[in-house]
Structure 1
Amino acid sequence: MQVPQASAASRRIRRVALGDLLYRTAAKFGDRTAVVDGEQRLSYGEMDALSSQFAHYLLAAHGSGVQVATLCANSVDMLVAINGIHKSANVWVPVNIQLDATQIGYILRHAEVSCIVADEAFCLQPQMAALLQELGLPVVVTMGSEPNPAGATLAALAHGRPTMLPEVDIDGDEPALIMYTSGTTGNPKGVVHSHASVYSAVIGNLSTFAFTAQDVVTGILPLFHCGQHVVTAATCAAGACLVITRGFQAGTVVDTVVRERISVLVGLPMMYAAILADPKAATADFSSVRLCIYAMAPMPRPLVNLIAATLSPNIMLVTGQTEIYPVTMSFRPVEYAERDANYWGISTVVCETAVMDDEGKLLAPGEAGEIVHRGPNVMLGYFKDPAATEAVQKCGWHHTGDLGMIDEGGQLLFLDRKKDMIKTGGENVASIKVESVILSHPAVAGVAVVGLAHPYWSEAICAFVALKPGTTCSEQDLTEHCRANLGKFEVPKAMKFVDTLPLTATGKIQKNVLRKQYADWFTSTRL
């Protein structure tokens, strides 16, 4: 068979480019509201025009193929910047603004950024102002006013430029973004994704969530995180409306759901618990909600039942990683009430999932091993780290570092992170199993279970517990609760009640922080 050679024109016709999502939706739904940011509302036509203008600025000032970082909280300006970066064939580097200046400096240097888009308030913080001055890179200021000591504003730089989509060549396999991992065991790694890998995840999400142009979707989680970014991109592809919030306050979310007629809620389990515990929830009209999506942590069955009765019975757990753009798998806890909270369910249409042993052999249902994926939503690799890329992509699969098992019904059960599996007294204990039991106690709001060095047990199971406001519970109460629901070797050797648990910007519990802080729990005076 003679295959035609791809010309520049045919590549343009068939291209896969993230900036085209907004452009094509604007062509269909130009007058439809694309985003709500407080009092500000932008249509798809307006968002498309503004992002194209910013893209033309980037092309004039920096060309294409360079890294452009964002240091932003959720805002219309941030969405304009992200789409402008993609339209100009540059590489987006989202930076977690909750990191300290040293970590941010490392990311900006390692990513070799040529330009920084940053919120005015962030630029004016003393440590960040010093870092930006030291780097000497051009800064585009968002949510700011002219004149600005940190640099020209996005609005000023985009003003008067062409509003049409720039004519630049983009190959679907070219890098679209470098997103840095949390770096819990050292410096964060830069995960490189192509236009095609993120685009495929968007298509998978459209299928999984059944988004339509009539949907109104929350933007509570930070846009610098892969989960909120891909939900936002899928919202755009569908022509739906995104309602942005900065930070999380339960009462504000209740008001937003009612006022904007939210149809799709996206949040963490603890967010749902706080929303339903807010006094406003008792009389709020939640009839617009058709889907509740959650991630990051298992959801206790009582909370599932409360959401089903109050918000919507259409509840979905979704999973993914920075390295394999979400969503990878989804699980519906209401439909599978007999399965516990640690089930991840089935793969999306763009992702294949299996369980593998340490020798690279794929395991049968009922056998435990490492969860592996493959599909078009997998990263290109780690930026400037070929050895780490090769290690995580061995045997032709992406290795997650998670342990799991596929049951006879084809549903995946998550067992634990490899690094979180506790080895105590010759037994392997999944920390997440112990956490699920403790979370089922009515007084518990959050828990982290870790293994700490012990002179006799090798590792001792320890639970750090945060209680719900207004409740009381003793260590003996929780220990008895665990003894009634766990094997003898799975019961924590010690518990510590804490006011709060250390969290990342996206709500993940930082067990590494607890392990470091309490490393000598059993080898010195108990804290």
Structure 2
Amino acid sequence: MTNLAATGGVPGPGRIGRVAIGDLLKRAATRFPDRTAVTDGARRVTFTELERDANRFANYLVARGLKPGGKISTICNNSVEFVKALFGIHRAGLVWVPVNTMLGPADMDYILDHAEVRFAMIDDNLYGQPERRAALQKHGIDLIAVDLAGTAAAAGLENFNNLLKGRSEIEPEIDIDDRDLAMIIYTSGITSRPKGAMHCHLAVIMAVSRDDGITGQFPLFHCAGHVSLLSYLSVGGRMALMRGFDPVVCMEAIVRDKLTIFVGLSLMYQAILDHPRRKEFDPSGLRTCIYTMAPMGRPLLERAIADLCPNFVLTSGQTEMYPATTMSRAEVQLKRFGSYWGESLIVNETAIMDENGNLLLRGQPGELVHRGPNVMMGYYKDPKATEEARKFGWHHTGDLGVIDEHGEVLFLDRKKDMIKSGGENVASVKIEETLLVHPAVQNAAVVGLPRPQWGEAVSAFVKLKPAVQADEAGILEHCRKHLGGFQVPKFIRILDEMPMTATGKLRKVKLREAFAEHFAKEGA
């Protein structure tokens, strides 16, 4: 409640004017009680069922003694039960701490310890992994299970669906303010230990159409999957839940569930287009395809627009800026190629700043900064990193870019990925774009490796497309044709697999570590 003296005797919004995540489902269920909210293969769940069971779970959590502001984790892959639990957690006023199920036991252990989690829900098949189970038992965390594999009872865990029986379907009376902490979502940990980005209820809202249905292959513990679920359910749309990405499963869901929006990584679109069964499925119901994490190479984008959907847009954001900050426009996708991230979303301001806190004019390069209600509340238990991230009253992304004459953000590079070679600043992203144009290259990463006479040497790592042959000399010659001399890699290595985070981001730090001594060993 806002202090009355500070507002001239006018109280804050309280329950009347709040924006709370749990309320989104309730309002949608009132308007669309019998409409399908989520699908999971052939399983269909209405808004009414989600609303009813979210309240049952919230009442269970209250009865267990969990208090508003308390932490609760989910260690789950996508499922109907996960969705019900998610809304129940928010209804109970608890702080959701999702754990990426693709993290190893050590990182999971760190997150649970750092966030001081004492209660969690886990898929029974994940609990069946000995190292994960040992880490959870060490913490003495109270657990309940989603009984996906039918092993919860044998493991001595309460079954989520069973514990809902007999619970009240009426929402518990919990005071929630839209600025209350709603979730702590840990970053990917690309360069260091994961940091816990704190977000309030107000930060996670974006508008879409009630007639839309969206693919749900992104995990709900990731900000892209989570905000897509909330956004589409809030207006009466629907999501097709999937446990990971499979090209055929995605295509089947698009047709079966009449989906209109596809959200994926560039590599997902590539896998669909290259799949031998692609022509068995009609994607004409798609009205928009969204790609995220990184721009799409020109050949792939042209092919995807021609074959899948005429409207492709790129969104960009960070775990710290929930859920996104910029989006490109479909009508300019075939006019400007490269790392164009589009225009700032209406929910936040976007600017370019120099190192002294001065905002720069269009066309001047600097650090990309944002401000708005979607900025995180801070890093959990890390005031120093929080202060550094919000210098000069803006959120600092660590990305270098310019805003061009059209008002679009052109990404130049991560500050830490800019290569200092022979007195030149070399943008790794420019070289990666060139490598991705090569017909044999599926993925590429460029880093600077230590080299005494150069400072850093431009070094490239590529993964080839399946069943395609190429050699390092041929790829190097391709670079010479399309890049300036100072940009051409001094070292190229073809890898069977790239080091990736669980959410599909390249872990360049692993490449730097693994090949740090390359030039020293070569004597160059």
TM-score by length of 1: 0.95
Structure 2 counterpart of 1:108: 112
The farther-off stretch of 472-481 and 231-240 is 472-481
Cα distance, 1:440 vs structure 2: 0.7
Q: Secondary structure at the match of 1:251?
A: helix
> In structure 2, how many angstroms separate the alpha carbons of the residues matched to 1:324 and 1:148?
41
Structure 1 counterpart of 2:188: 182
Structure 2 counterpart of 1:193: 199
- Residue from 447, 469, 482 that aligns with 2:444: 447
How many pairs does the alignment contain?
516
1:93 aligns with 2:71: no
Contact 1:141–1:150, Cα closer than 8 Å, also in 2: no
Structure 1 counterpart of 2:84: 80
Contact 2:72–2:97, Cα closer than 8 Å, also in 1: yes
Stretches of structure 2 lacking an aligned partner (at least 5 in a row): none
Give the direction of change, closer, same or farther, for the CA distance of 1:215–1:463 in structure 2 (3 Å limit): same
Cα distance, 1:525 vs structure 2: 5.0
Contact 2:41–2:253, Cα closer than 8 Å, also in 1: no
Stretches of structure 1 lacking an aligned partner (at least 5 in a row): none
Structure 1 counterpart of 2:158: 152
Residue identity matched to 2:344: S
Map 1:109-508 to 2 at 5 A. Answer: 109-144=113-148, 145=150, 147-198=153-204, 202-203=205-206, 206=207, 211-332=208-329, 334-508=331-505
Contact 2:290–2:313, Cα closer than 8 Å, also in 1: yes
* CA deviation vs aligned residue, 1:274-323 (integer Å, no higher than 9, x gap): 00111111242111111100101110111111111111111110001011
Give the direction of change, closer, same or farther, for the CA distance of 1:139–1:5 in structure 2 (3 Å limit): farther
Cα distance, 1:151 vs structure 2: 1.8
RMSD: 1.6
Structure 1 counterpart of 2:73: 69
Cα distance, 1:237 vs structure 2: 1.1
* CA deviation vs aligned residue, 1:196-255 (integer Å, no higher than 9, x gap): 122xxx22xx2xxxx322211101111111111111111111211100111112122222
Cα distance, 1:2 vs structure 2: 10
Residue identity matched to 1:379: M
> In structure 1, how many angstroms separate the alpha carbons of the residues matched to 2:420 and 2:70?
46
Q: Secondary structure at the match of 1:349?
A: coil
Residue identity matched to 2:315: V
Cα distance, 1:4 vs structure 2: 5.7
Give the direction of change, closer, same or farther, for the CA distance of 1:38–1:150 in structure 2 (3 Å limit): farther
> In structure 2, how many angstroms separate the alpha carbons of the residues matched to 1:333 and 1:216?
19
- Residue from 23, 30, 38 that aligns with 1:35: 38
The farther-off stretch of 295-304 and 423-432 is 295-304
> In structure 2, how many angstroms separate the alpha carbons of the residues matched to 1:253 and 1:132?
33
Identity %: 46
> In structure 1, how many angstroms separate the alpha carbons of the residues matched to 2:312 and 2:6?
49
Q: Secondary structure at the match of 1:507?
A: coil
* CA deviation vs aligned residue, 1:82-117 (integer Å, no higher than 9, x gap): 111101000000111111111111110110112111
The farther-off stretch of 141-150 and 291-300 is 141-150
Contact 2:39–2:45, Cα closer than 8 Å, also in 1: yes
> In structure 2, how many angstroms separate the alpha carbons of the residues matched to 1:214 and 1:338?
30
Q: Secondary structure at the match of 1:400?
A: strand
> In structure 2, how many angstroms separate the alpha carbons of the residues matched to 1:169 and 1:483?
63
Contact 1:19–1:87, Cα closer than 8 Å, also in 2: yes
Residue identity matched to 1:338: K
Contact 2:69–2:95, Cα closer than 8 Å, also in 1: yes
Structure 1 counterpart of 2:50: 47
Residue identity matched to 2:195: K
> In structure 2, how many angstroms separate the alpha carbons of the residues matched to 1:316 and 1:404?
19
Residue identity matched to 1:247: G
Q: Secondary structure at the match of 2:135?
A: helix
Contact 1:138–1:151, Cα closer than 8 Å, also in 2: no
Residue identity matched to 2:71: Q
